[in-house]
Amino acid sequence: MGVRWVAGVDEVGRGPLAGPVLAAAVILPPDVAIRGVDDSKRLDARKRESLFDEILEKALCVGIGAASTREIDRINILRASHVAMQRALRRLRISPECIIVDGLRVPLLGDDHVAIVGADASVHCVACASIVAKVVRDRLMKRLAGRYPGYGWDENAGYATLEHRSAIVVRGLTPHHRRSFESNMQLKLELFG
C-alpha cells in the first residue's frame, strides 16, 4: 500500500517590507484533484479566492503557520519561513506520512520531508498550500491596511511598491515593518524613490 496522507507545504511573504511570513500545509484526499490549481503567483486574486474556498472544502485538513516581523528581525527571513512551515504542519489534525515542501530542504523538519524546487507549480497539494498561504496573507494585509492607511497594503501586500516606499518616507515605519530590512529599504528608497 502506498502513502495516503501527503502534506504539501509552501510559504509566502519572504520578500515584502512589512507583514509576517506565512505558510500553509494542505492534505488532500488521495483521489482529489482541484481543477485550476496552480502556483499562486500564476493566478489572479479572484481565481485564488475561488480556489481557496474549494481547497478548504475538499481538503482533509489545512494548517496555517506564521512568523511575525519581530521573529523575522530576530532570526532572519529564511529561518522565519522555516518556523512558519513547522507551525503550519503542527496545526494539521492528521499526521502526514509524507511532507513535500516547495524549495530547498528545511532543517527544522529534519529528514521527514522532500524538498522540490518549483513544487508549487508541479505538485498538486503544494500548489494548494501556495494558494491558501497567499489568500490568508493577503487578507491579513488588507486588514492591516485599514489600521495603517496610506501604505497601500490592501493592494501591494507589503511589497516594495512606489506607493509603499513613498509612504515610508512620509509616514515612517509601522510596528509591522521589518526592521532588519531597513538597510535594504533605504537602498530601494534611494534607487527608486
At residue 184 the predicted structure's pLDDT band, cuts being 50, 70 and 90, is low
At residue 164 the predicted structure's pLDDT band, cuts being 50, 70 and 90, is very high
Residue holding cell 507545504?
A: 9
Provide the pLDDT for residue 122: 95
The β-bridge partners of 177 are: 18
156 within domain boundaries: no
pLDDT at residue 1 above 90? no
181 within domain boundaries: no
Residue holding cell 509552501?
A: 10
> For the domain that residue 87 is a member of, what is the CATH number?
3.30.420.10
Count of residues in the chain: 193
pLDDT tens readout for residues 19-51: 999 999 999 999 999 999 999 999 999 999 999
Locate all alpha helices (DSSP H) within 17-76, ordered by sequence: 45-58, 69-75
pTM: 0.92
Provide the pLDDT for residue 191: 46
**Count of the separate structural domains present in the chain:** 1
Structural domain range at position 39:
6-145
At residue 161 the predicted structure's pLDDT band, cuts being 50, 70 and 90, is very high
165 within domain boundaries: no
Q: Which of 19-33, 92-106, 127-141, 168-182 has the lowest mean pLDDT?
A: 168-182
Q: Determine phi and psi for 131, rounding to 5 degrees.
A: -65, -45
At residue 193 the predicted structure's pLDDT band, cuts being 50, 70 and 90, is very low
Name the DSSP class of 14: S
28 within domain boundaries: yes
Residue holding cell 500564476?
A: 42
pLDDT tens readout for residues 87-113: 999 999 999 999 999 999 999 898 889
